Structure 1
Amino acid sequence: MACMDVDVVSDGGPTAKGSTGFAGCAVALVLFVVLMAGVAWVLDELVKGLDGYGQLEQTGTGASGSVVEPYGPGASARYEDGLKITVSRPHEESDGTYRFTVTYDNDTGEELLLGGEPTGGADPALEVREGEPLDDDYSHDYFLTWLNEQECAAALTAPLGEGETRSVPVHVEPSRKGIPVTVEVEPADDDFRETAYFLLSLERPGRYRTFA
């Protein structure tokens, strides 16, 4: 991008060499940056449209939310259409049970159905189980009891309005402390919604650890 200097002489004043040319360059540069930003946005939206807006965004934090690289406690799964799901750190109760919350933030621009059956399958919208995501059987020497499973399912039945947030409290009881727990989130979708996996550990206070 080339800009030419132009001499400008005001009445009775000094010569302002190049001022007009500099101003022209500045305006052209601003327009060029705005144009490139617009092109980048269009390309990004095109890629999202091709992939599907139900894809999880890659945050570069090391965890992708997949079955191989699950999120840790306190992390958020962010979908390309604006839905965000956060699983809090478990808190131990005095009776040895644990509580945590699964929070849904809807910034998609439209109402969402969280529960129900996703297209093409009958998997639950929220699943909490013992073990790690890659475990393909339940032959553990420990187990997990989901104490309020029905209440959680009921909390997901009503649609979530645009701009609204809903926190679902989860109450579980492990057969012993320190076991790994998988939280599997798959909100219903008319088209496609990628499943997000979280891996927690039910430890004593002060000895908390995560599985990365």
Structure 2
Amino acid sequence: MKWTKKDVGTGKANFPVQYDLSGRVEVIVKGSKTQVIGDCAFFLLRTSWTKFLCCLVGAYLILILFFALIYLAEADGMVCLIKDEPCDFWDALNLSVHSMSTIGFGSIVPQSALTHSAVAVEFWIAVLMGAGAGGLLFSRVSTASSRVAFSDVALVTNIRGCPTVTMRIVNERPFSSLFDVTCRVSALVKDPKAGMRILAPCELERSTNMMFRA
């Protein structure tokens, strides 16, 4: 349905609307709840391995630097057992790495209440991050996914006197085969009656394949 400015407020368009620079109506969605944790988990499950590892390493480094700055702000609250000099940034960074990785070599120990509390908080964050990262990694490895590639060029020709679009589809998994493959194709066309573009299903010469080998 295509709304105009006259329809707003008359009951025909009973939703909040706004107009872009070209005068077209844009629907404003209100009341939709955003789940930050669920959306982030879904992104980490569906993104590439490079982005997944970069996100994990980035979060790990940010937390290490954050707690290192906390330890550095309370430099007198930690003691280095292998030197007599006051603790510097690298000592605070080492304490943060040891606490985050739950190694605890014992060369740098907390002394004040602030550093003890920060170490405890960092430890539990490390445990939760390890559990979450392990669960995401297991889900990514255990979830089977197909790799189907389409040809860059589609051929338009006449088959039985009818204009037909042909394309090639291949299975990129070298050691696996897909069974009972079903394909559906739709074309985005403009409907003169509705005054908008719609997805029209296309009739395929062969829409199913019992075995799709690599």
Tell whether the structures are fold-level matches, with TM greater than 0.5.
Answer: no
Structure with greater Cα Rg: 2
TM-score normalized with structure 2 length: 0.28
- The two structures have a TM-score, normalised by structure 1, of 0.28
Q: Which structure shows the bigger proportion of residues in helix conformation?
A: 2
